[in-house]
Structure 1
Amino acid sequence: MEMKEKVMSSGHYLFDNKPIIVKAWTRDMEMTKDDVKSVPAWVQIHKLPLKFWGKGLPKIAGLLGEFIKCDATTEERTSLGYARVMVELMVDQELPAQIAFNDEKGLIIRVDIEYEWRLVKFKKCQGMRHEMEHCRKGNQGYAAKKIS
């Protein structure tokens, strides 16, 4: 029970950098798919000046989605190639390749964004990450759209 509580309370889970949904099982639970509105994802922020790697980083990451956390190397500043943050992304949002913000002097700072994982969503059924031949809405002949 202690391990179950730990798993259920920690919130975000990734397997192979892809989010997974964990729910407690009960005998009478409904085996229906939840309507997923958002997913956690690791994002790399390239060309970010070092002065923004502290308290400003959650605000900058917040331009993409809800900031969750930084990885250890970003927090400790042991690898300065890019800042790596986890953000909660809405499944239907556009994912920009670049964001811009103003620094303390009013100058526009532009940084490049790289997503370590992108959601694949089918056009007809709006389902996510299932095989097209198993789609109940008949996606045969419909291409999957990588959310970007």
Structure 2
Amino acid sequence: MEELTKNWNNLTLSECEGLNFRRKEEQAKTEFILAAKFLTKRALNIDAIAKTFTPLWRSKNGFKIKKESDHVVLFSFDDNSEMEKVIAAEPLSFDKRLMVLQRYSKEMDVGDMEFSKVTFWVQVHNLPIRFQTKRIAEQLCEAIGKVNTGVDEAEAEGDNFMRVRVNIDISQPLSRGRVVSLDSGSLLAESKQFRPWLKAAPFVPNRKYVVKVPGFFARKKAEAAKEKLETMKNKLVVVVRTSK
């Protein structure tokens, strides 16, 4: 060992090799990367992945796919907004299996990433009419995971239920429920148990569940303004020129 250390100390760099090459941070390529783990035992086909997500994500500048391991793929985007748009579309699946997304940077080791958090839409059913509010639905879902409170009111209201965006730790058992106390008492024992109603019906975004009706005078005012605008558009403009 001492001889090896002695030989190492005798090594020197040539004049060309010893030149200090500095890399500036602004010269680095700007990429926004998502690491995706596919929860499947099948081998991944990158071409099939590209064909599946290209029409779904509709990226303006496109994206690059790199296979990092057997079931982990890196998606590289030029624009951060496009990457955030993909994250906002969770949950995502491929070949009927869940795909777990996580932001990735060059300093991270893919092997150390947990891939344990996925954001789901959670439906809250059978709330009393007076308690069917976005805030109460979010408070109930805090027992499941981290609630995203930035969802619009229109997206949160369903037919006879409320929808909440929740980031859930899929490595933990799913919460069986939550005890709700009311002024008149709490829920019945049979209402607290795990039942088939936990599996929610699919949500159809194209169907209107809630229609907002403006006040009577506000509607009349809007109609009058619209009628006035149409009248102005239909008026003929006559230009009279006089000769000198």
Using structure 1 for the length normalisation, give the TM-score.
Answer: 0.52
Please identify, of 41-50 and 8-17, the stretch whose mean Cα deviation from structure 2 is larger. 8-17
Match of 2:199 among 81, 92, 114: 114
Task: Output the CA distance in 1 between the equivalents of 2:108 and 2:171.
Answer: 28
Match of 1:5 among 77, 80, 86: 80
Structure 2 runs not aligned, ≥5 long: 1-29, 31-76, 202-244
Corresponding position: 1:57 with 2:132: no
Match of 1:80 among 138, 159, 165: 159
Match of 2:115 among 36, 43, 48: 36
| 1:96 positional shift | 3.6
Q: Computing the radius of gyration over CA atoms, which structure comes out larger, 1 or 2?
A: 2
The answer on whether the counterparts of 2:118 and 2:168 sit within 8 Å (CA) in structure 1 is yes
Match of 1:99 among 170, 173, 178: 178
Task: Output the CA distance in 2 between the equivalents of 1:101 and 1:31.
Answer: 41
What's the secondary structure of 2:82's corresponding residue? helix
Higher strand share: 1
Please identify, of 33-42 and 5-14, the stretch whose mean Cα deviation from structure 2 is larger. 5-14
The answer on whether the counterparts of 1:41 and 1:86 sit within 8 Å (CA) in structure 2 is yes
Structure 1 runs not aligned, ≥5 long: 117-148
RMSD: 3.7
The answer on whether the counterparts of 2:147 and 2:164 sit within 8 Å (CA) in structure 1 is yes
The answer on whether the counterparts of 1:64 and 1:89 sit within 8 Å (CA) in structure 2 is yes
CA separation of 1:8/1:80 partners in 2, compared to 1, >3 Å: closer, same or farther? same
Task: Output the CA distance in 1 between the equivalents of 2:99 and 2:153.
Answer: 19
Task: Output the CA distance in 1 between the equivalents of 2:146 and 2:124.
Answer: 15
Identity among equivalent positions (%) equals 15
Higher helix share: 2
**Aligned counterpart, 1:123:** none
Considering Cα pairs closer than 8 Å and 6+ residues apart, tell me whether 1 or 2 has the greater RCO.
1
| 1:87 positional shift | 0.9
CA separation of 1:115/1:67 partners in 2, compared to 1, >3 Å: closer, same or farther? farther
Task: Output the CA distance in 1 between the equivalents of 2:148 and 2:99.
Answer: 13
Task: Output the CA distance in 2 between the equivalents of 1:88 and 1:6.
Answer: 20
| 1:97 positional shift | 4.5
Match of 1:68 among 148, 169, 173: 148
Paired amino acid for 1:5 = N
Paired amino acid for 2:199 = E
| 1:32 positional shift | 3.9
CA separation of 1:3/1:108 partners in 2, compared to 1, >3 Å: closer, same or farther? farther
